[in-house]
Amino acid sequence: MGKAGKALKQVLADYSISQFALAGTMDVERNNVYRWANEKRDPTAETVVEIVRALKSMNPEAAEFFVKLYLGDEI
């Protein structure tokens, strides 16, 4: 599976953000966050943007780190 899941899992762990908290902020089921973070399903491009927005509202540093991990040197 994709790079987004690995980046998300690392950000959640490093910034002590629970899957439940992210799901609540995004207004999605926690199962969706679990599937993304554990690389069972790749988030769509639109969902990646929603993840960034949710992380930014929770912890702007976490959002920046997610983008860096996901896009790497592409930005």
CATH code assigned at 56: 1.10.260.40
pLDDT confidence of residue 1: 57
Tell me the pLDDT band of 60, cut-offs 50, 70 and 90: very high
Through-space distance between the first and last CA atoms of the chain, rounded to whole angstroms: 22
How many domains are contained in the chain?
1
Q: Is the pLDDT of residue 42 over 70?
A: yes
DSSP 23-60: HHHHTS-HHHHHHHHTTSSPPPHHHHHHHHHHHHHH-H
Q: What's the domain range around 65?
A: 3-74
Of 37, 59, 62, the residue nearest 47 (C-alpha): 37
SS3 category, 16? coil
